[in-house]
Amino acid sequence: MIVNNQNYQSVWADFNNKRIYCIDQRALPFRFSILELNNLNDISNAINTMAIRGAPAIGITAAYAIWLSHYYNDGNINLILQDYNRLISLRPTAINLKKGADYVFSAINENINNSQVYDRAIEFANNEMNACYKIGTYGVELIRAIHNKSNKTVNILTHCNAGWLACGDYGTALAPIFEANKQNIPIHVWVDETRPLNQGSRLTAWELYNEKIPFSIITDNTGGLLMMKHKVDMIIIGADRIARNGDVANKIGSYLKALAAAAHSIPFYVAAPISTFDFSLDSGDDIPIEQRNSLEIQSIQSYYNDEWISSELFPSDYQSINYAFDITPAKFINSFITEQGIYKNINYLIKQFYS
Ligand code: MRU
């Protein structure tokens, strides 16, 4: 994606410097800064604190991290395994994290050199970003179909940030939106702010603003009213893990949007690369839900005098619970937008996976 006339991916690796770089998503939208990740501690910290976040982006980071671990541990498989185990436990819901680590780790043996490990990590990253690009080219047809029917601006609601920051490039839920804008299909995006970390109002809005796509930020509770008032034509969200029965884990609040969409017969789409599917799990009941520090609810970050400051919203001895994701049952999902096409049910993908 282009920012300040330069083409960026949200995370990238430099073979010569033996470093990983990422856009620091904690600083956006007020500051655009690049973070340098030199070792596993830096990488863990960046993933834990959400400097780098979004399912495909943390998968790509994990792939690069295994390459770095191979370099610093001189190919010692036991030490790399320790790093691998630490990495995959950082965020439990997004399966992409493990998929990225596995893709590189599984190729390591005593005959492989560090440059070949790097190539393997780059291959994973490119596959993910190409998948996102294709999600855009398939998904745009759903937006076009609505526009062709009404001949009006298509109002699309999205939750959290599933744009290029979250994916290395292009995005999942936002990829069809970027593509629609490129093809001059008139659109307007309702952006859920996505409490408590505001990935919607900070990151999705920043991406849309950068692309000059019309949008409005709304509080997380506004979607129901908008749907009732016929102001939402479709909903597109991303996913952190999809079980074999089609149940979807995504940012907390996604489920409530799906319920409201079903009540108002508004199409609800999930956009995700195949790497987000976990066919080893029967249903959403088996997907681990990440619980994050309650401090994220108890305090709020705001930008004041060129600085991020933290303010308390309620006393720290009040109990609060911070579930980061919820499960949307498959029955509320109209279709899945993937790099292989748009699927009403995922049996075809499952068959292909096991054949
Ligand atoms: O906790 P986050 O910000 O990493 O959660 C991200 C999401 O829930 C996204 O919707 C998901 O990863 C979609 S794919 C970009």
User: Which of 199, 207, 296 is the pocket-test mutation for ligand 1 (most atoms within 8 Å of CB)?
Assistant: 199
Mean pLDDT of the region 74-92 = 98
pTM: 0.97
Residue 81 has pLDDT above 90, yes or no: yes
14 catalytically annotated: no
Quote the pLDDT of residue 279: 97
Q: Tell me, in angstroms, the distance from the centre of ligand 1 to residue 180's CA.
A: 22
Quote the pLDDT of residue 90: 98
The pLDDT-based confidence of 324 (bands split at 50, 70, 90) is very high
Q: Tell me, in angstroms, the distance from the centre of ligand 1 to residue 204's CA.
A: 11
Quote the pLDDT of residue 289: 98
Decide: 276 in ligand 1 pocket, CB within 6 A: no
Nearest to 158 by CA among 230, 68, 250, 35: 250
> Angle 277-257-189 (CA atoms, 0-180°, nearest 5)?
95
Mean pLDDT of the region 19-37 = 98
The pLDDT-based confidence of 253 (bands split at 50, 70, 90) is very high
Quote the pLDDT of residue 140: 98
Quote the pLDDT of residue 292: 98
Q: Tell me, in angstroms, the distance from the centre of ligand 1 to residue 238's CA.
A: 7
pLDDT digits (tens, 9 = 90+) for 119-167: 999 999 999 999 999 999 999 999 999 999 999 999 999 999 999 999 9
Residue 352 has pLDDT above 90, yes or no: no
Quote the pLDDT of residue 119: 98
Quote the pLDDT of residue 228: 98
124: its two tokens = 């994973």
In whole numbers, what is the pLDDT of the chain averaged over residues? 97
Q: Is 216 helix (H, G, I), strand (E, B) or coil?
A: strand
Give 65's contacts (C-beta < 8 A, 6+ positions apart): 20, 40, 43, 83, 87, 101
- Beta pairing class for 215-218 and 2-3: unpaired
Q: Which of 83, 102, 233, 240 is catalytic?
A: 240
At position 78, the amino acid (one-letter code) is N
Full set of structural domains in the chain with CATH: 2-128 (1.20.120.420), 149-354 (3.40.50.10470)
For residue 94, which atom of ligand 1 is closest to its CA? Answer: 12
Peptide bond into 92 cis (omega under 30): no
Decide: 162 in ligand 1 pocket, CB within 6 A: yes
Quote the pLDDT of residue 8: 97
Q: Is 189 helix (H, G, I), strand (E, B) or coil?
A: strand
Residue 353 has pLDDT above 90, yes or no: no
pLDDT digits (tens, 9 = 90+) for 275-305: 999 999 999 999 999 999 999 999 999 999 9
Q: Tell me, in angstroms, the distance from the centre of ligand 1 to residue 323's CA.
A: 13
Mean pLDDT of the region 159-185 = 98
The pLDDT-based confidence of 348 (bands split at 50, 70, 90) is confident
Shortest-distance Cα residue to atom 13 of ligand 1 = 238
Shortest-distance Cα residue to atom 6 of ligand 1 = 54
In the chain, % of residues over pLDDT 70: 100
pLDDT digits (tens, 9 = 90+) for 183-194: 999 999 999 999
The pLDDT-based confidence of 249 (bands split at 50, 70, 90) is very high
Q: Tell me, in angstroms, the distance from the centre of ligand 1 to residue 252's CA.
A: 10
Quote the pLDDT of residue 354: 86
Mean pLDDT of the region 209-238 = 98
Quote the pLDDT of residue 202: 98
- The per-residue b/e assignment along 306-329, b for 16 or more CB within 10 angstroms, e otherwise, is eeeeeeeeeeeeeeeebebbbbbb
The pLDDT-based confidence of 355 (bands split at 50, 70, 90) is confident
15: its two tokens = 């073979």
Shortest-distance Cα residue to atom 2 of ligand 1 = 54
Shortest-distance Cα residue to atom 10 of ligand 1 = 238
